[in-house]
Structure 1
Amino acid sequence: MADNRLISVEIDEETLSSSGPDAEHERRVAIFDLIEDNSFGVIDHDGGPYLLRLSMMERKLVFQVRSEEGEDVHTFILSISPFRGIIRDYFLICESYYSAIKTQSPHQIEAIDMARRGIHNEGSELLAERLEGKIEVDFDTARRLFTLICALHAGQTRAP
């Protein structure tokens, strides 16, 4: 259904403040990509479009989904714990990728990029699995949501 989509993503700056301009830029890009193309449906709800507000509560990510008119549709809490290892590995492989761009051959860069995409896919699949029964997303939307979670995490881990 065309209305099963996000039209807005808001980040609670009190609980998910970014640690600087680079982290803020990463968030804006991730949100733009997500809004630009997504499939997002709330299970047992008639349809969107939806507004999403993300916040953090006790080291868990809170998804507050509202209708286009601002009415509460569904709120659920996502534990970040299952994602910690994948996010850590993803950041490490990204660092390797950016270092490789400067000094390695195209073949080596491609191999690292394939590994990076594989870890990103793993995180996306885990996210879709964790959303199952609450939110229905396609694989590309799960990838974009995982990218946003990584951007939020990066902003938190670099904070002083």
Structure 2
Amino acid sequence: MKIRLQGLLAAVALANCLSAHAALGAGPTYAASGSASSTQAVRRMSASAVPYTVNEATLADGTLVREYVGQSGIVFAATWHGPHTPDLSSLMGSHFAGYLDAVNQQHAQRGSAFGPATVQRSDVVVETGGHMGAYVGRAWVPADLPAGMSSDDIQ
């Protein structure tokens, strides 16, 4: 069953190839990709805080993806909401395999390959949910969050 679940999740990820282009821990690509409409905004947490940039991209399927980019130019978090879940393997990069293993374990324990998932690992945290036509989620690398920022700031 585990292999079947992995195959199913991999197929879903491949079916959504119109989505994410940047990966957690890598540089953003939405602003330069041209494959989605995008905007960019700088958000400051306080007058003394280090700014981070939020790149927003609306994918062809209507899903909005936000990339949180630190001062170093590296994506440390991402959020999404819309009619489809973006390609999480692309969005999460090297963190995807660990995420997939944890989700497969959760689904095996529940006896279902569907439903929301929360994965909390030392290297990545991922929260997904929603229902058909209205999916939401967020993922971040805890070690890469800027000083003074919490997971509550990732929306």
Compute the TM-score of the two structures, normalised by the length of structure 1. Answer: 0.28
Higher-RCO chain (CA-CA 8 Å, sequence separation at least 6): 1
**Structure number, greater radius of gyration:** 1
Structure with a larger share of its residues in strand: 2
Structure with a larger share of its residues in helix: 1
Compute the TM-score of the two structures, normalised by the length of structure 2. Answer: 0.29
